[in-house]
Amino acid sequence: GQQLNQSPQSMFIQEGEDVSMNCTSSSIFNTWLWYKQDPGEGPVLLIALYKAGELTSNGRLTAQFGITRKDSFLNISASIPSDVGIYFCAGQLLDSNYQLIWGAGTKLIIKP
Amino acid sequence: DSGVTQTPKHLITATGQRVTLRCSPRSGDLSVYWYQQSLDQGLQFLIQYYNGEERAKGNILERFSAQQFPDLHSELNLSSLELGDSALYFCASSAINTEAFFGQGTRLTVV
């Protein structure tokens, strides 16, 4: 089936550091979504991207829809403790039945 | 609050039993998705319904089935439960070609 490659799998960061993660695929997507999941909770939508090249910010978060429509990245600037969690990317394939394809997640951990 | 409601929040049952998980989508959303998430794992797509019809199927076991009713709420039925079925089960809903919003999940424990 279709796959999204999300990297890194996990990140150990110091508070205040910038963070970057990305998702790539061999398929073309018409929508990219970034979610954050806290333990035991449902994923919460952070940013939605609908156009190739689109760069969208939500506070300290910035995400971009790749020009080739096959990738997306999420940056978090000046990380804080509440940024800890699992970040998922999801893409909606061109001409799909609105099905979302999911990355495996990036686990963000703050170093003590 | 995403607007997606899942019940029950927690469920403990024995192996071999059958359970039904319920999802009410956001008002106006026609698509409902079901996902399974085992401990420290990613989201495994099970099945999607759109306006009452099955649209896409993921890695859903034959022991599992789902349906979407005319009022757009959905139920996921899990039967002949095994220990390995213990997981968080999420429902998400979306309007046409837009982002999906998730419920809080049902934590199923099979003992």
Q: What is the DSSP letter of A83?
A: G
Chain A CB within 8 Å of residue B2 CB: yes
Chain B CB within 8 Å of residue A102 CB: yes
Residue in A30, A98, A105 nearest the CB of B31: A98
Q: Which residue of A has its CA nearest to B5?
A: A42
pLDDT in tens, A20-77: 999 999 988 989 999 999 988 999 999 999 999 999 999 999 999 999 999 999 999 9
| The one-letter amino acid at A42 | G
pLDDT in tens, B71-96: 999 999 999 999 999 999 999 999 87
Of A109, A25, A2, A110, which is closest to residue A73 (Cα–Cα)? A25
Q: State how far Cα A30 lies from the chain centre.
A: 15
Chain B CB within 8 Å of residue A45 CB: yes
Q: Report whether A67 contacts A9 (CB < 8 A).
A: no
